[in-house]
Structure 1
Amino acid sequence: MKNVIIYASMTGHSKKIAQAISEKLGIEAFNIKDNPKIEGYDMGIFVSGIYSGECKPELIEFAKKLTPANIKSALLVTSSMKEMTPEKLKEALIANQIEVMKDEYTCKGGFLVMGISHPNKQEIDEAVDFVRNHLYQTV
């Protein structure tokens, strides 16, 4: 299975999570700021913080341009002050015929002084384990 990590980071937390998954599982990670060319992947692992109830708008816009020729399915990993689901991201992927996995991983996020120690090492390790377990279950 050919997998890719696609992330958007405002505070650096999502980048930290994406890089940990990349390093520990050997999956290439792309920051959407770099306008990556995503083509021919089985699974796209989307990593983002949740801000005002949704992922970064740039990630949603990026997802709206994807098709099954880019990625066939998506797995979501998010961090948030409250446990929330990135509905607009899901809708964009599903509208383009990309299967979104039912399971998601959300860890506590930090913003300004609130939740400043999150995501912590344990939460990042849990995100890595979540992706690892999901990929091994779907093989």
Structure 2
Amino acid sequence: MVSVLYYSMTGSTKKMATAIAEELGVEALDVKKAASVPQDGVLFMGSGCYGDKPGDDMAKFIAAHDFAGRKVALFGTSGAGAGREVDAMAEALKNKGATVLGTYHSKGRAFVLVNIGHPSKDELDGARKFAAEMAKLG
């Protein structure tokens, strides 16, 4: 079994989380609604990028929970598409005992008009491919 948790302010990361969840046959859950860390299989976690970091709700969720022995796959969206939010999540999760299986990131909408149309169909297809590959590693 796999789980998908995400934080999205503009909807870009939610689109990616939904594509990943559909590929895996599960539902994506907003991290603000998650009371605990799902315990089975690979945990997919994603966030938008806010000042080169994941959203506050995602950062707080990671800080508040134990990830010892968990396998995680990380994804994110950002205006620049650089993946700094994913790198920050990876570091925080490794410090909490998680094994990071892999990462995926793409451009996302920034502010109101920057990167409209991202993640694109190709980027979402890449997220689906990433999901299938990571699930096999779990």
Contact 1:66 1:93 in 2 (8 A): no
Quote the offset at 1:40 in angstroms. Answer: 1.7
Quote the offset at 1:134 in angstroms. Answer: 2.2
Q: Structure 1: which amino acid aligns with 2:42?
A: M
Quote the offset at 1:127 in angstroms. Answer: 0.6
Aligned with 1:30: secondary structure? strand
Structure having the larger proportion of residues in strand: 1
Aligned with 2:50: secondary structure? coil
Aligned with 2:117: secondary structure? coil
Aligned to 1:121: 121
Contact 1:60 1:88 in 2 (8 A): no
* Structure 2 residue ranges without an equivalent (≥5): none
Aligned to 1:17: 16
* Structure 1 residue ranges without an equivalent (≥5): none
- Cα distance per residue 1:41-61 (max 9 Å; x no partner): 231101211122111011011
Quote the offset at 1:36 in angstroms. Answer: 3.4
Q: When the two structures are aligned, how many residues end up with a matched partner?
A: 135
Residue correspondence of structure 1 range 30-41 to structure 2 within 5 A: 30-41=29-40
Aligned with 1:42: secondary structure? coil
Quote the offset at 1:16 in angstroms. Answer: 1.3
Aligned to 1:88: 88
Quote the offset at 1:31 in angstroms. Answer: 0.5
Coordinate RMSD, CA, aligned: 1.8
CA distance in 1, matches of 2:37, 2:23: 21
| TM-score, L = length of structure 1 | 0.86
| TM-score, L = length of structure 2 | 0.86
CA distance in 2, matches of 1:40, 1:20: 22
Quote the offset at 1:119 in angstroms. Answer: 0.8
User: Percent of counterpart pairs with the same letter?
Assistant: 28
CA distance in 1, matches of 2:15, 2:38: 24
Q: Structure 1: which amino acid aligns with 2:94?
A: I
Q: Does 1:76 align with 2:84?
A: no
Shift in alpha-carbon separation, 1:66–1:90, aligned structure 2, 3 A: same
Aligned with 1:21: secondary structure? helix
Aligned with 1:100: secondary structure? strand
- Cα distance per residue 1:20-76 (max 9 Å; x no partner): 21122213321012133333223110121112211101101101222247x711111
Q: Structure 2: which amino acid aligns with 1:51?
A: Y
Q: Structure 2: which amino acid aligns with 1:96?
A: K
